[in-house]
Amino acid sequence: MNFLYQAKFEELFTEFTRYLIDHPEIDELIPEDAQVVLLDRTDPEFNRQAIELSEKSRLTDDVPHRPVVYIEVTEMAPVQSRVKKLQVHERPPAYTT
């Protein structure tokens, strides 16, 4: 698993978890003990890797015939800065020296 895949997976997992908190009814659509495969509509290479890893993990899964659910993220809001204010200095502020 490469770094870019891992970073993308972590981002999607975090956002999906947040989505579940806001929309608990979605949890009812996911079978208990299901393998959840996160997909990104805008990233075919990520999807290929996610599906491939899912299929490989099923070969050694301790639960035979575990249900698999594919969660397709079709749209995400842009990432926004949480910075409220900042200052630009030509040299370090006095408190740093």
* Report field, pTM of the whole predicted structure over 0.85: no
User: Which pLDDT band, with edges at 50, 70 and 90, does 1 fall under?
Assistant: low
d(C-alpha 1, C-alpha 16), whole Å? 20
pLDDT of 77 strictly over 80: yes
Q: Map out the domains of the chain as residue ranges.
A: 3-84+92-96
pLDDT digits (tens, 9 = 90+) for 25-69: 999 999 999 999 999 999 999 999 999 999 999 999 999 899 999
Question: Which run of H or E residues covers position 12?
Answer: helix 3-22
User: Which pLDDT band, with edges at 50, 70 and 90, does 82 fall under?
Assistant: confident
